[in-house]
A and B are shown apart, each in its own frame.
Chain A
Amino acid sequence: MPDVDTRVPVTVVTGFLGSGKTTLVNYILSEDHGKRIAVIENEFGEIGIDDALVIDAEEEIFEMNNGCICCTVRGDLIRILGTLMKRRDKFDYILVETTGLADPAPVAQTFFVDEEIRAQLRLDAIVTVVDAKHLALHLFEEKEEGIENEAVEQLAFADRVLINKIDLVSEQELIQVENQVRSINAGASLVRTQMSKVDLDWVLNAGAFDLSRILEVDPEFLGDSEHQHDQSVTSVGIEAEGPVNLEKINGWLGWLLVEKGVDIFRMKGIINVENSENRFVFQGVHMLFDGQPDRAWKPGERRVNNMIFIGRNLDRDELDTRFRACLVK
């Protein structure tokens, strides 16, 4: 890998209908950032900005027969991104806006599975826009057996969450909304917005999928205290000091991907491997996994294993116990 990642970054914008996704995209396009941006979205909005290209997408989902039962990709995105990257005048940035009902997994997995896309583009972050006034309504909407609640999934996959339309709710309601978001996804960064107006550096080039910039998980969010609702999608954080045995941790990762991959939406973490001077960093989407040795531990740095899992029906004790069994005694 070259030192400087020259791949074109892609931000995925998700959120329920009416949350302010298109407003965010329009806001990004209209700001003076000097970037040539291509937008891939489902319906053409009111976008007519110079130097921006808007492409209509169809959200066509392909299941992949690659031994991973939950692996799906967006066939239309593969075609569109493949075509964009052939152009001599390449875009500096790509935004993908999904429909309100979209499951973010196929979009994220597209960037792991297709090697041509992977070689030329990098998934920068998944940004989810939330309507502060109506979030609870969507989160607790009764779904038929086996049908996913897309609002929950969109939060579970997020790296960045815009709590939008804050002018329509009270401070108390806002705190409640933030707690609801964190109880599903303790790893995402939150910001309060009106009209989706946000610091562009916060949503563009966030580097949330960059292994070398794996976020230090804030343990404050990882306690059980945030569990206010009986819900199946939660975050589990593991923090443990001490080195792990390489062979055992490989076995643990294998178990995790095969047995829990279907239920894990996102995971990322830092591992302290025995006899290694470097941190090992990893991330994953369902059964797709990306891991590599990272920078060296600094002198005096606490060598802590630190990771977060966001998913469905996660058993905190099981994950924690099995991980701790890998620690060198």
Chain B
Amino acid sequence: MSSEVINELQFSTQPLCRTDDYVTSIDFSFDGRFVGSASVSGEASVHGLDANGIVFAAHTGDTTRIRFSPTAHELATGGIDGAVRIWNLSGVLIAEEVRKGWCNDIAWRPTGVEVAGVVGRSVVRVLSNGFNGVKHQELDATGECVGWDSDGRRLFVGAYGVVLMFQGDARAIREYPWKGAPLVVRISPDDKWIATGNQDSSLHCWKVSNGSDLQMTGFETKVQHIAWNESSRFLANASFNVISLWDFSGKGPKGSRPIELTGHTSRIVGIGYLKTAPEILVSAATDGTVCLWRPTAKGRSLIARHDTHLPLSALAISPQSSTVAVGTDEGEVFLLDIAGIQQTVTT
């Protein structure tokens, strides 16, 4: 643990909203004006930063994911009832698809025209115009995670043993095989790399172009959270209470050791780069701490740590401001303003 003086974060002690149970997922709208949360209670919430908003029943059983449209004031949810649904900000249903199984992950196409999700062994596509007609694809194993490339031309789906690449609504056009169970998939912003965090405590990366791959192992626990920085140079991953940072510049991370960021004392529930200060990485953990890191190869990297004294369960970062939202296992959502820290960093 660092003994240096760490900056204090501004923290609203009033929750933005409350749902009845554990927050599984949290997100900001594209303009940063709204925050949504998904709850084990089956509820979803949508609130403005002024705390005006609604909590509504989105699914029967747990709501597992919530994601705002990248282009409009719409949001999508997935649930263990097998449904992927698109709602407007008043909680009115716009479109839905229901399949057998649980929805484990959803992702908006960057153009905003559709949501892709994995439900059981199906890849589900829901169009935001409410029309139905996109073909669903079947998988050989339960779908675990989905991700799009930057312009939304290609969809990547992770299931046990493989990452599949889809283009348009055709069959999978490429397989990236590897005997492991991916839990999260993220495409680098330059669309060159596919990265997955895996059940067997590893990170796996493939080059999109030729499928050549890299494997990083030796993490303490399964890898549930990964994030690329804006330039695609750094890939961060969390395993239990440690963040590892891999440098993809030059020859790439093959054979290299990662930069390790330590400061949390328990399981990390989310990581991501700030949009307004892209050199800063934010993380939150179940011990209640939220950390800001400015990783460099040498020297100090932890620039702020704040103990919310809350049992944190989820993290989201505003795309437009210095605001971070956290969810708790009691069903609450709180906002943190990290503006002061950014000033410290830039001066």
Convert B39-69 into 0s and 1s, putting 1 for each residue whose CB lies closer than 8 angstroms to a CB of A.
Answer: 0100000000000000000000010000000
Is B21 a contact partner of A114 (Cβ separation < 8 A)? no
In the complex, whether A64 has a CB less than 8 A from a CB of chain B is yes
Number of interface residues, chain B, beta carbon within 8 A: 29
A115 to B200, CA, bound (A): 11
Q: Are the C-beta atoms of A83 and B202 separated by less than 8 Å?
A: no
Interface residues of B: mostly helix, strand, loop or mixed? loop
Is B104 interfacial (CB-CB < 8 Å)?
Answer: yes
Q: Is the CB of B104 within 8 A of A79?
A: yes
B206 at the interface (CB under 8 A from A): no
Q: Which of A62, A87, A88, A116 contacts B181 (CB 8 A)?
A: A62
Residue B24 lies at the interface, judged by CB distance under 8 Å to chain A: yes
Interface assignment of A293: CB less than 8 Å from any CB of chain B = no
> Which residues in B have their C-beta under 8 angstroms from that of A83?
40, 62, 80, 102
Verify if B179 is at the interface (C-beta below 8 Å from A): yes
Is A64 a contact of B80 with CB atoms below 8 Å? no
Q: Is A307 an interface residue (CB 8 A)?
A: no
Task: Give the CA-CA distance A24 to B214 in the complex, in Å.
Answer: 48
Residues of A211-250 contacting chain B, CB below 8 A: none
Nearest Cβ in chain A — how far from B261, in angstroms? 19
Whether, in the assembled complex, B228 has its beta carbon less than 8 Å from a beta carbon of chain A, the answer is no
Contact with B along A100-138 (1 / 0, CB 8 A): 000000000000001110000000000000000000000
A87 touches B222 (CB 8 A): no
* Residues 47-92 of A at the B interface (beta carbon under 8 Å): 58, 60, 62-66, 73, 75-76, 78-79, 83, 86-88
CB–CB B199/A58 < 8 A = no
B229 close to chain A: CB less than 8 A = no
Let me know if B270 is at the binding interface, CB within 8 A.
no
- B87 — which chain A residues lie within 8 A by C-beta? none
Question: When the two chains form their complex, are residues B180 and A60 in contact, meaning their CB atoms are under 8 A apart?
Answer: no
**Contact A86 B62, beta carbon cutoff 8 Å:** yes
Interface pairs A-B: 10 shortest CB-CB: A86-B22, A64-B200, A62-B181, A115-B221, A88-B21, A65-B200, A86-B40, A66-B200, A65-B180, A87-B40
Beyond A83-B40, A88-B40, 14 extra complex contacts between A and B, CB < 8 Å: A60-B142, A63-B180, A64-B199, A65-B202, A75-B142, A75-B199, A79-B102, A79-B104, A83-B80, A86-B62, A86-B313, A88-B22, A114-B222, A116-B267
Using CB atoms and an 8 Å cutoff, list the residues of chain B in contact with chain A: 20-22, 24, 40, 62, 80, 102, 104, 141-142, 160, 179-181, 199-202, 217, 220-222, 240, 267, 313, 329-331
